[in-house]
Structure 1
Amino acid sequence: MLKCTACGREYSMRKPYQRCECGEPLELELFESVPGIGRRVWERFSGFFPFDLKPELSLGEGDTPLTKAKKLSREIGVKVYLKNETTNPTWSFKDRGTYLGIHRALQLGFKKIGTVSTGNMAASVAAYGAFAGLETYILVSSTIAEEKLKALEVYGAKIVKVHGDYGGLYYKSLEIGQKKGIYFINSDDPFRVEGYKSISFEIIEEITPDYVLVPTSSGGLFRGIVKGFLELRESGLIEKLPTFVAVQAEGCSPICRAFREGKEKIERFKNPHTIAHAIENPYPPSGNAVLRRLKELSGLCVTVRDEEILEAQRALGREGLFVQPASATGVAAIRKLRERDAIEKGAKVVGILTGAGLKTLSYIKAPKVEECLLESFEECFGE
């Protein structure tokens, strides 16, 4: 059964419902189960998912590393763990949600799928659509960078560049999908959210965190991670929840602004501008749902400046991890919260690294390069 995250209205699983008539996102009710034995997270936690998951639709998503950041831990004074979602097939966390979304589309009999995205989700849906043999539509903004379009070419999807208000394209795509028989696996589709909760299951297999920091755009990833931990508690597998922290770039932070001002609903963020393009969403479709969760669970919402994001990206590089700017926002927020004493010394803190740095090379400076003649090669190494 699907249920509205705001008014509680229930919807049947037999039809492709994605949002409530009140305008808010839908979500599956909490699952209670116990983990089993299996090589993949989908097998070990199979009882927590709404249907049997087919290995033949998988590209190998999930079961990503949880790495302790030794340098950052010493520097900041907390135990920093990094959930490295860059190792997924298309280099971002989106693959987990797309895997569940493909199942849902096929379950309902769709032969066409699509998404609205200019980055990680576009690549993910294009790749999984190609693998499943589905006709795939990727709707992108008219201002999309050429490097992002090139990343989609190899999958053979139909790419449509849409001129006009990109913020309204999410809702328009759902209308078009109903008319044209296309299942749009958009950012906070209920089954995409189901895929994201697998991150929580993997974290709890290794540590019991005190804080989990989530780079937040549409709100689907945040909702999925929270839902995963809620199901673990409902099932008696953990006693208490971590403190959940939604992280946004200061230059586009509609959720954090509404949270800070004590509002019940978000408002469109005017003139957004940040290097963290992957989370630059001025009117996130799950923004109100994230607000409700933050207030209900005593969570936090933190903004970070572009300079702090770039510094965090470099700090992650020194840990051997190359991430896109949006992925670095969590680490920037850990540092900021620790400076404010909002995170206690020695706490176990997990930051979600959402996407790989290779996707945003335009913000990386060329390194300093030394040149040597072969005849004097040894001198280049100094004394």
Structure 2
Amino acid sequence: MKVHCPACGKIYENPVQRCECGEPVEFETFKGEPYIGKSVWGRFWDFWPVEPALELSLGEGDTPLVKSKLGKDLGIRLHLKNETVNPTWSFKDRGTFLAISYALKAGYKAVGTVSTGNMAASVSAYASRAGLKAKILVSENASDEKLKAVSVYGGEVIRVRGDYGRLYFESLKLGEKLGVYFMNSDNPFRIEGYKGIAFEIAEELSPDYVLIPTSSGGLFRGIAKGFIELHESGLIDAVPTLIAVQAEGCSPICRAFSEGKARIERFESPKTIAKAIANPYPPSGNAVLKLIRDFGWSCVSVSDDEILEAQRKLASEGLFVQPASATGIAALKKMDLPEGAKVVSILTGSGLKTAPHITGGRIVECPLEELENCIRSGS
């Protein structure tokens, strides 16, 4: 079960999580053919580095690819990959399931992650499902309300006082020492799990562009690896153009890309409504930047106003997503896409997780005796 570092080329016989040079590692490029099966795990059996523990699946993956009217004005054919319907309402479940499958095979009794949002809930849920202890490390300013949706699954939530930026690396060190398998944002098994998004898209569509909300960079790397493996296996004719999308208020990858830099730099004082992708120093940032440059792809940043407008537009189509999920739609206006282009935007997480911060539509008070008039006036 070898992994290698795309940055320096070093090969490891065991699935370590990061290279000695400081960059993330990944598995070899898998080749294979699709099979007939009920789930993405079975249909693409050849492409996983570990046998998926199917008895522990909660139904993650195989999410809908929804046709959208939002690209009509731009002259494009737009589809939305709706990851909000995963068991804990985000794409994280795909990576968590595969990482849990490995943790069980490797004999771990406890798993963990560093997160205050989607990944925290996902790891807590799947750990309970597998009968494993979960150590969820969060920042000291994480609200009690936000953590209820994490602790309800039974995981142990630990508020950590201190530099949250150091917590990612510290957790990996302590995990090795204490026998806790930390499946953080760009864990190599997570990357493999996210490939399923590319596989499922390719089963239905041959997109020209795929828009990916990008934070740590794990999702972007996974989708990229998925399309590359399909292409090298002769299952698709070409790899689509992938676009990393970030919020202007926290866009270290886009900034490095636009400034022509080879490496990202910490984004100081991040401020954006898209909290789920507000990572000031993404652990896979350099890897994403290299992919973008190597393949001639791009990175687009969008403002909070543009994000909120896109969120409202998606809601008008019946899809309520968190602000980070709407960034791809917000980026469309900033891209010069050819007429008729087939575009997929990834909707990463449900808006229900950010519901307290949403301004809803108009609510009318009406006495029962006046109900007919109220209904007429609103028609």
Under a length normalisation based on structure 1, what TM-score does the superposition of the two structures give?
0.97
- The answer to whether residue 55 in structure 2 is matched with residue 61 in structure 1 is no
- Is there any run of 5+ residues in structure 1 with no aligned partner, and where? none
| 2:141 match | 143
Amino acid at match of 2:338: E
Q: CA deviation at 1:373?
A: 1.6
Q: 2:302 aligns with which of 301, 304, 307?
A: 304
1:50 paired with 2:45, answer no
1:316-344 residue CA offsets vs partner (Å, 9 max, x unmatched): 0011100000000011012221xxx2x11
Query: 2:71 is paired with a residue of what secondary structure?
Result: helix
What is the correspondence of 1:96-175 to structure 2 with a 5 Å cutoff?
Answer: 96-175=94-173
- Counterpart residue identity of residue 42, structure 1: W
Alpha-carbon distance between aligned partners in 1 of 2:95 and 2:50, rounded to the nearest angstrom: 14
2:63 is the alignment partner of 1:25: no
Which is further off, 154-163 or 50-59? 50-59
Segment of structure 1 superposing worse, 175-184 or 357-366 = 357-366
Q: Percent identity?
A: 63
Task: Spell out, residue by residue over 1:206-235, the C-alpha distance to the aligned partner (whole angstroms, 9 max, x if none).
Answer: 000000010000000000000000000000
Distance in 2 between residues matched to 1:153 and 1:36, nearest whole Å: 38
Q: Which runs of 4+ in 1 moved over 4 A?
A: none
Partners of 1:119 and 1:185 in 2: CA distance:
14
Deviation string, structure 1 residues 49-86 (Cα, Å, up to 9, x no partner) = 1122121121110000000102x022222111000000
What amino acid maps onto 1:20 in structure 2? C
Q: Which amino acid aligns with 2:359?
A: K
Deviation, structure 1 residue 376:
1.8
| More divergent stretch after superposition (365-374 vs 257-266) | 365-374
2:283 to 285, 288, 308: 285
| Higher mean C-alpha deviation, range 55-64 or range 360-369 | 360-369
Q: Distance in 2 between matches of 1:314 and 1:304?
A: 15
Is the partner of 2:363 in helix, strand or coil? coil
Name the structure 1 match of 2:375: 381
Partner residue of 1:357 out of 343, 351, 355? 351
Q: 1:11 aligned to 2:12? A: yes
Most deviating of 29-38 and 143-152: 143-152
Alpha-carbon distance between aligned partners in 2 of 1:223 and 1:260, rounded to the nearest angstrom:
19
**RMSD (Å), alpha carbons:** 0.9
Does structure 1 conserve the Cα–Cα contact (< 8 Å) formed by 2:231 and 2:239?
A: yes
Q: Point out where structure 2 has 5 or more consecutive residues left out of the alignment.
A: none
Shift of 1:167: 1.1
User: Is the counterpart of residue 2 in structure 1 residue 3 in structure 2?
Assistant: yes
Amino acid at match of 1:8: G
Contact 2:50/2:98, CA 8 A, preserved across alignment: no
Aligned mates of 1:107, 1:262 — CA distance in 2: 43
1:238-257 pair list within 5 angstroms:
238-257=236-255
330, 333, 339: which one aligns with 2:331: 333
The Cα offsets for residues 142-163 of structure 1, whole Å up to 9 and x where unpaired, read as: 1112321111121111110011
Instruction: Say which SS state the counterpart of residue 82 (structure 1) adopts.
Output: strand
In the aligned structure 1, how far is the partner of 2:256 from the partner of 2:314?
30
Query: Partner letter of residue 100 of structure 2?
Result: I
SS at match of 1:137: strand
Q: SS of the counterpart of 1:140?
A: strand
SS of the equivalent of 1:382 reads helix
Contact 2:124/2:151 (<8 A) preserved: no
TM-score (ref. length: structure 2): 0.98
- Size of the alignment, in residue pairs? 376
Range moving further from structure 2, 320-329 or 363-372: 363-372
* Aligned equivalent of 2:75, options 63, 74, 77: 77
Q: What do residues 150-209 of structure 1 show as CA deviations (whole Å, max 9, x unaligned)?
A: 111211111100111111110010011011110000000000000000000000000000
For residues 362 and 264 of structure 1, the distance between their equivalents in structure 2, rounded to whole angstroms, comes to: 39
In structure 1, how many angstroms separate the alpha carbons of the residues matched to 2:23 and 2:163? 20
